[in-house]
């Protein structure tokens, strides 16, 4: 998430994101695939257990890695410019930037019980995910 300089950049402002761990998504999907009839017609929002600002994400990364990580809230224009060096297709850059914009707008802050409902255990916290990466 952070560049070589230890900075997370994006136009997320002080919005929050309830990011979900990929392993939790896989386990939830497996639960549905193993018993599809039990989930017929159901929809689930798969989120992490907490909504964090990118300042909070940076602080957790700092604690987990010992490397100082900070968050710099870019403007949308700065975000497009700072990603120009990746030489990614325009649609991909727009997807990156629009995700940060969704965080800023509060569209990704909702916490739901889809993961615990489907897996039988709490969703993985960001700190737990970082600890797994060190193990």
Each residue of 57-76: pLDDT tens digit?
A: 999 999 999 999 999 999 99
The radius of gyration computed from the CA coordinates of the chain, to the nearest angstrom, equals 17
Residue 99 domain-assigned (yes or no) = yes
Residue 1 domain-assigned (yes or no) = no
- Give 32-49 pLDDT, tens digit per residue: 999 999 999 999 999 999
Nearest to 116 by CA among 104, 125, 103, 126: 125
Q: Are 109 and 51 in contact (CB under 8 A)?
A: yes
pTM listed for this prediction = 0.90
Provide the domain count of the chain: 1
Say what the pLDDT of residue 134 is. 61
Position 133 confidence tier, pLDDT thresholds 50, 70, 90: confident
Residue 127 domain-assigned (yes or no) = yes
Name beta bridge partners: 7.
70
Which H or E run contains 73?
Answer: strand 70-73
The whole domain housing 102 covers 7-134
CATH code of the domain containing 75:
3.40.50.720
Helix pair angle (54-65, 126-134), 10° resolution: 30
Mean pLDDT, range 90-115, rounded to an integer: 97
Pairing of strands 7-10, 70-73: parallel
Q: Is the pLDDT of residue 1 over 80?
A: no
Read off φ and ψ for residue 10, nearest 5 degrees: 170, 155
Mean pLDDT of the chain: 96
């Amino acid at each position: 998430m952070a560049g070589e300089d230890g900075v997370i950049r994006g136009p997320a402002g002080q919005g929050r994101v309830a990011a979900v761990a990929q392993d939790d998504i896989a386990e939830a999907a497996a639960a549905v695939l193993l018993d599809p009839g039990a989930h017929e017609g159901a929809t689930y929002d798969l989120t992490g257990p907490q909504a964090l600002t990118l300042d909070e994400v940076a602080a957790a990364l700092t604690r987990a890695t010992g490397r100082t990580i900070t968050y710099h809230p870019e403007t949308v224009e700065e975000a497009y410019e700072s990603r120009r060096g990746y030489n990614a297709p325009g649609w991909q850059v727009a997807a990156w930037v629009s995700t940060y914009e969704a965080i800023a707008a509060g569209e990704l802050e909702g916490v739901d019980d889809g993961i615990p409902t489907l897996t039988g255990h709490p969703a993985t916290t960001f700190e737990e995910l970082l600890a797994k990466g060190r193990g």
